Amino acid sequence: MTLSWITFLPSIGALAVLLAPRAFARNVALAFSLVAFVLSVTVVFAFDPGAGGYQFVAATPWLPQFGIQFKLGVDGISLWMMMLTTFIFPIVLFISNMSIRQNEKTFYALMLLMESATLGVFLSLDLFLFYVFWEFALVPMYFIIGLFGGERRSYASVKFFVYTMAGSVLMLIAILWLGLGGKTFDMELLQQQKWFAGDLFLFSAFALAFAIKVPMFPFHSWLPDAHVEAPTPGSIILAAVLLKMGAYGLIRFNLGFFPQASKVMAPVMIGISVVGILYGAVVAFAQSDMKKLIAYSSVSHMGYIVLGIFAFNALGIQGAILQMVNHGLSTGGLFLIVGFIYERLHTREMKNMGGLWSRMPVYGSLALLFVLSSVGLPALNGFVGEYVILQGAFLANPWAAAFAAFGMVLSAIYLLTMFQKVFLGVSAGDAHEAAHGHVSNAVAGPVQALADLSFREIASTIPLLALCALIGLYSWPFFRLMGSSVSSLLLASVK
């Protein structure tokens, strides 16, 4: 019952937001999202780390004549995805009024509906129910980009929707094939059947849908457009939560349902993930728009997660799960940092910045911490996840691990170069004055007199940075709670 409340409280909150006065819309949305977070924390403390199966299972018949039910449950894999979701959404709602000043009630209602949908994806134990939540999660993000995004928002929102829908069609066929062939859509019961374990078509149908969502190279082209055009809250949720739906699906369905096919396809998936790591890093370095650079960095960093998944060992998979959380924290933080400066300068072009640290020392310090987290500095979260993934990858394919390790070097290059261009040196206005003897209004603009971060802006970053430090210094509890579930997943694959 607790999981049902966690899943649907945000939806109830969406209705409450629409009924509330406009002035209270954000506070109502934040209250419902915070309650869902508190409930999810109680699940973590009540979770039994020694049990490899699903816990807190709630099942109600839905369409019994077709073997379809409303069934939710959580294990050590989905536990951290649930926590990431309920942790990120309140932070985004808390800071959303920084960039959302029109149609606020619609925006907050869409955000809460999206929270419910993503939670449903991570907690569903019925294939048909999973697909309903998976498809529904597209709708709020489509409207958030389309209604609240930038100049090319229509193009970006349609591209996002078409890409993800295209992959979902094949997945629906595979779901119907499994459910009708196995005479149930219950995921626990289906996993006990082995007739589809080596089916390459079913593996490919699921893998394509998830690869588009991750996104893996070469299905990534929708992501930079969506990130650039989405408002800051949309970009944060897209990077921190929605991309994790694809990686979660690869673990839960491709490894869990098709272990033999996964082993056959593992070299291909590892190869594609390594290409994505290097490609995303190289293309990120070439970007002048901060948002687009971080978007391509996501293509690169999500490649590590897929690499860990298809290493097909406990180290790789546990590292991938932790890195899904890490990426949500650090990349979500980077998009938050970009949003802060965009609201002041109304540009994301690095050539129009420079020297911001001297004008905004608090902002520069917080930005540096998020950059170092993404780079993988020891004592911060990114290092732990990527190191464990590389350990698992080395056991599976030493060459792949070597090339992926080089990707970490490239990551440091493009992220530290971005930091240098934006925060160090002289501002664009100062450089223009030195070259021409006066400051051009077009170049200087508001850069010459920027206000540092407000209390609310600082407060929104503190929870993210605190978790980055906690995971970097003391990651054992995170691995402990997922360990039995990962072991059960691997054990089932050899039966």
Q: Could you report the per-residue pLDDT of 270-301, keeping only the tens digit for each?
A: 999 999 999 999 999 999 899 999 999 999 99
Percent of the residues in the chain that have a pLDDT greater than 70, as a whole number: 94
Q: Residue 102, class by beta-carbon neighbours within 10 Å (0-12 exposed, 13-18 middle, 19+ buried)?
A: exposed
Do residues 356 and 363 lie in contact, with contact meaning Cβ atoms separated by under 8 Å?
yes
Say if residue 56's pLDDT is above 90: yes
Which of 35-49, 213-227, 416-430 has the lowest average pLDDT?
A: 416-430
Reported as a single tens digit per residue, the pLDDT across 171-219 is 999 999 998 888 889 999 998 888 788 889 999 999 999 999 998 988 8
CB proximity list for 64: less than 8 A, separation 6 or greater: none
pTM of the model: 0.92
pLDDT at 364: 93
* 72, β-bridge pairs: 58, 124
Query: For 110-137, what is the mean pLDDT?
Result: 95
Rounded-to-integer distance, Cα 31 and Cα 109, Å = 13
- DSSP annotation of 378: T
* 71, β-bridge pairs: 59
Do residues 123 and 56 lie in contact, with contact meaning Cβ atoms separated by under 8 Å?
no
**Upstream peptide bond of 378 is cis (omega within 30 degrees of 0):** no
pLDDT at 64: 87
- Token reading at 483: 């360990």
Do residues 137 and 188 lie in contact, with contact meaning Cβ atoms separated by under 8 Å?
no
- Token reading at 203: 């593996």
Query: For 325-342, what is the mean pLDDT?
Result: 93
Closest CA relative to residue 25, chosen from 89, 115, 114, 110 = 110
- C-alpha dist (Å) from residue 7 to 22, 72, 82, 151: 25, 9, 9, 33
Q: CB neighbours (10 Å) of residue 398? A: 9
Closest CA relative to residue 295, chosen from 208, 356, 366, 236 = 236
pLDDT at 420: 93
Say if residue 1's pLDDT is above 50: yes
- Note the helical H segments in 250-350: 256-257, 259-285, 290-310, 314-345
H or E stretch covering 62: strand 55-63
Rounded-to-integer distance, Cα 388 and Cα 366, Å = 26
Q: How confident is the model at residue 353 (pLDDT cuts 50, 70, 90)?
A: confident
- Token reading at 128: 């048909």
Reported as a single tens digit per residue, the pLDDT across 361-391 is 999 999 999 999 999 999 999 999 999 999 9
Q: How confident is the model at residue 442 (pLDDT cuts 50, 70, 90)?
A: very low
Reported as a single tens digit per residue, the pLDDT across 137-183 is 999 999 999 999 888 888 998 998 888 888 888 899 999 999 888 88
Rounded-to-integer distance, Cα 29 and Cα 13, Å = 6
- Tell me the average pLDDT of the chain: 90
**Upstream peptide bond of 398 is cis (omega within 30 degrees of 0):** no
pLDDT at 437: 54
Per residue, what are the HEC states of the chain? CHHHHHHHHHHHHHHHHHHCCHHHHHHHHHHHHHHHHHHHHHHHHHCCCCCCCCEEEEEEEEEHHHCEEEEEEECCCHHHHHHHHHHHHHHHHHHHHHCCCCCHHHHHHHHHHHHHHHHHHHHECEHHHHHHHHHHCHHHHHHHHHHHCCCCHHHHHHHHHHHHHHHHHHHHHHHHHHHHHHCCCEHHHHHCCCCCCCCHHHHHHHHHHHHHHCCCCCCCCHHHHHHHHCCHHHHHHHHHHHHHHHHHHHHHHHHHHCHHHHHHHHHHHHHHHHHHHHHHHHHHHCCCEHHHHHHHHHHHHHHHHHHHHHCCCHHHHHHHHHHHHHHHHHHHHHHHHHHHHHHHHCCCEHHHCCCHHHHCHHHHHHHHHHHHHHHCCCCCHHHHHHHHHHHHHHHHCHHHHHHHHHHHHHHHHHHHHHHHHHHCCCCHHHHHHHHHCCCCHHHHHHHHHCCCCCHHHHHHHHHHHHHHHHHHHCCHHHHHHHHHHHHHHHHHHHC
